[in-house]
Structure 1
Amino acid sequence: MAHQYTKKLIQDTFIKMLNERPLKRITVKDLTIACDLNRNAFYYYYADIYELLSEIFRTELQAVIDEYNQTLSWEKSFMVATKLALNNKTALYHVYDSMQREELTSYIFNTSGNIMEKYVEHESEQLEALNQDKQLITSFYQCALTGMVLHWIETGMKEDPEQVIKRVGYLFDGNIQASLLRSSHSPRI
């Protein structure tokens, strides 16, 4: 229990600090002072600041996966993913503008991929779609969603993601099912 508390304290304090200053200006020393911990406590859990950042992204990814498993809605899952960004815009930009941009891009790509993979699998349960087609459909939507999120970040996160996600869901409703149906009727190679 104390381990969970300490890790959460470190993560929450790190995000708070990231909302106040760029990633490159956050040191383990500053973080441990803010947490009222010694440096050994930090190093017990993390090798460095970047490992801490990676764990935060993994934790957020798991929250998105859990949301999908509860709702079976890619739209609701994606809204959970955007919640961290909206609640921590400055922190997000500090990561985006740092050398850790790749970590953020990877998080977005993995989140999109996990959501779409589960959605495509669920939608194809009653169909005999080809596995390679399911992978292709998943990859296509994963790349599209990733590109949309990166564009949203690059343009200042001005649009309400919930409205955009709902609109995309509305406009493309049925396309994945139609593609899976087409795959299930295609000649087997």
Structure 2
Amino acid sequence: MKHEVTSMYTKKALSESLKRFMQTKPFSKISVSEIIEDCGLNRKTFYYHFADTRDLLKWTFEQEAIEVVKSFDLLIDYEDAILFVMDYLEKNQHMLNCVYDSVGRDELKIFLYNDFFEIGNMIVSSAEKAVGVQLSEDHKRLVVTFYTEGIAGIIIEWMKGEIKLDKADTVKYISSIFRNGLPAIIKNV
């Protein structure tokens, strides 16, 4: 138990260091050496926990946002989940812009895709249960991919200011897509 606590403490320290550097440097320019020096750790400790800075960044996103979203009842609380993600984006805009500016839109989507896909899969599974219809694996993958691509794209566009709606309206429209579109798609496949 003590090792797990120490390990989590170390990961959080590395994560906080990365976030501090991202306030002043492009993500692609931040080195493992800078992070470990900032934390007072050695290189071996960093690589025990993470493969590289991208792995550390992914862990940071997962801990701060993705795992929280997964804890919502996504069929009932999807508006709260979307609002949480958008609040997280606002609060961490400097960090996300740093990544976006370093790797670009497509890379950012790829970077987050598996987590977004897993959340999309949870939403579709919940909707299947609510509607009482089980999609074939191929149909389900198509629906999950459609929603994952759409929501990820909308959120990135909103974050970058390309979607001019305020947060409340954006959440309302995304929620409407889930509430009205998803059950209809599942019923009619």
CA deviation map 1:111-168 (0-9, x unaligned): 4423332222112225234324333322222221122123223336865434311233
Q: Percent same amino acid among aligned pairs? A: 25
- SS of residue in 2 equivalent to 1:37: coil
**Distance change >3 Å, CA 103–CA 8, structure 1 → 2:** farther
- SS of residue in 2 equivalent to 1:124: helix
Structure whose alpha-carbon radius of gyration is higher? 1
Q: 2:143 aligns with which of 132, 137, 141?
A: 137
Once superposed, what is the RMSD of the aligned Cα atoms? 2.7
TM-score, with structure 2 as normaliser:
0.78
| Count of paired positions | 182
Does residue 1:97 correspond to 2:73, yes or no? no
Kindly report structure 1 stretches of 4+ aligned residues shifted beyond 6 Å.
Answer: none
TM-score, with structure 1 as normaliser:
0.78
**Distance change >3 Å, CA 4–CA 65, structure 1 → 2:** same
Is the CA contact 2:93–2:159 (under 8 Å) kept in the aligned structure 1?
no
- Note the residue ranges of structure 2 that are not aligned, 5 or more in a row: none
Corresponding residue of 1:179: 185
CA deviation map 1:6-28 (0-9, x unaligned): 11111112112212221133222
5 Å-filtered alignment, 1:105-124, equals 105-124=109-128
Q: 2:29 aligns with which of 5, 25, 30?
A: 25
Corresponding residue of 2:45: 41
- Note the residue ranges of structure 1 that are not aligned, 5 or more in a row: 184-189
- SS of residue in 2 equivalent to 1:93: helix
5 Å-filtered alignment, 1:82-93, equals 82-93=86-97
Could you tell me how far apart the structure 1 residues matched to 2:144 and 2:121 are? 5
Could you tell me how far apart the structure 2 residues matched to 1:20 and 1:76 are? 31
Q: 2:61 aligns with which of 57, 60, 64?
A: 57
Is the CA contact 1:77–1:115 (under 8 Å) kept in the aligned structure 2?
no
